[in-house]
Amino acid sequence: MKKYLVNVNGTDYEITLEALKEGEDFAPKAAAPKAEASKAAAPAGGTPVTAPMPGNILDIKVTQGQLVAAGQTLVILEAMKMENEVQAPVDGTVAAINVTKGSTVESGAVLVTLA
């Protein structure tokens, strides 16, 4: 294996390259699994707040047990290189936070449940 320094758009990256032997096929290493938010239903009487689109959770602005008002930002969701504020649809208390910072979610995944 050999290490190289590569410059892409003014940013330096150190990469390592490995030469394949004659007749050897490339076998990629398994990628780490993505953490995904559960599509589980909200607890009885709870209001689920779902992801409007697939993306990555950049920040969680609330804590479990916190009182929130309608329109208050609960989660920052990055989708298509844009930061989207996911807001509380109703007044309530945060009953559950179903995602973690850095996780990947699909459209419709329950992010937060309000009671």
pLDDT for residue 103 is more than 90: yes
State how far the Cα of 73 lies from the Cα of 109, in Å rounded to an integer: 17
Q: The domain that contains 86 carries what CATH number?
A: 2.40.50.100
Residue 55 in domain = yes
10-44 pLDDT, tens digit per residue, is 777 777 777 777 777 766 655 544 444 444 444 55
pLDDT for residue 86 is more than 80: yes
45-59 pLDDT, tens digit per residue, is 689 999 999 999 999
Domain range spanning residue 88? 47-114
Residue 60 in domain = yes
State how far the Cα of 49 lies from the Cα of 43, in Å rounded to an integer: 12
Residue 91 in domain = yes
Indicate yes or no: pTM above 0.75: no
DSSP 3-state assignment of 105? strand
Percent of the chain at pLDDT > 70 equals 81
Report how many domains make up the chain.
Answer: 1
Residue 108 in domain = yes
